[in-house]
Amino acid sequence: AQSVTQLDSQVPVFEEAPVELRCNYSSSVSVYLFWYVQYPNQGLQLLLKYLSGSTLVKGINGFEAEFNKSQTSFHLRKPSVHISDTAEYFCAVSAVSNDYKLSFGAGTTVTVRA
Amino acid sequence: GAGVSQSPSNKVTEKGKDVELRCDPISGHTALYWYRQSLGQGLEFLIYFQGNSAPDKSGLPSDRFSAERTGGSVSTLTIQRTQQEDSAVYLCASSPSGGEAKNIQYFGAGTRLSVL
């Protein structure tokens, strides 16, 4: 089984400042990694994914994440945030084997202030 | 094209009543998933359908929960004899069958269930 730990439940940040959301995972098998964003009263939208290849992945809205296998981490970063980035962010993992169930972290609420 | 569609968007019911939640996946997607998002438990996997294979029901929390998928498309999640702890947002997702894209799940906006 896989598990995900998001180390920060809330992250307040000023507009145009950088932000990093931390995610660590645990798994005995190879995994795929994802970050999803949930805006208020909406479903989950995929921000970016790591399936294979380059460990630095770029997603939508200027976000990027780096897969670090030795540290079992997949931290999400954005160099300059906007008010519109205020949302809840979820890190998720699924096994590379024929098991597509996503295991989610508890989420990180990002609040961007002017 | 259209995304994953869920209905109703909100449902209020009385304890003990049965409810049905509907999910219409993206056209052509063979895999369909149900998740539950609640304050105390976060996002939890409930059930997974893939084509005509037997569904993976390992995440259903009790025998009051069931789901079916008719014709490989629309799915209905049924909760019988609802309890207050069933109050949550129920999210549906779908994914295609081939290539790397099969590993990416696309989510609907969810159904917010409130059990009074």
- Span B14-37, average pLDDT: 95
Tokens representing A105 are 């972290």
Give me the pLDDT at residue B109, please.
Answer: 92
pLDDT at res. B70: 84
Of chain B, the end-to-end C-alpha distance in Å amounts to: 37
- pLDDT attached to residue B72: 77
User: Using alpha carbons only, how large is chain A's radius of gyration in Å?
Assistant: 14
Residues of chain A in contact with residue B42, where contact means CB-CB under 8 angstroms, are 104-107
For residues B94 and B105, what is the distance between their CA atoms, to the nearest angstrom?
A: 5
For residue B20, the tally of other CB atoms under 10 A from its CB is: 14
Record: contact A46-B42, CB cut-off 8 A = no
Contacts of A94 in chain B (CB under 8 A): 103
Handedness of CA B1, B25, B44, B85 (dihedral sign): positive
Say what the pLDDT of residue B41 is.
77
Under-50 pLDDT residues of chain A:
none
Contact present, B96 and B105 (Cβ < 8 Å): no
- Element of type H or E holding B65: strand B65-69
- A47 and A35 Cβ atoms separated by less than 8 Å: yes
| Secondary structure of chain A in HEC code, one letter for each residue | CCEEEECCCEEEEECCCCEEECEEEECCCCEEEEEEEECCCCCEEEEEEECCCCCEEECHHHCEEEEECCCCEEEEEECCCCHHHCEEEEEEEEECCCEEEEEECCCEEEEEEC
pLDDT the model gives residue B1: 54
pLDDT score at B2: 80
Nearest CA distance, A52 vs chain B (angstrom): 9
Q: Which residue has the higher pLDDT, B28 or B97?
A: B28
Surface of A (39-98) touching B: CB under 8 A: 41-46, 49, 51-52, 90, 92, 94
Q: Does the structure show a pLDDT above 70 at B56? A: yes
pLDDT for position B97: 78
Check residue B25 and give its pLDDT: 95
Structure confidence by residue, pLDDT tens digits, B66-110: 999 988 799 999 999 999 999 999 999 999 877 777 778 999 999
Amino acid at A31: V
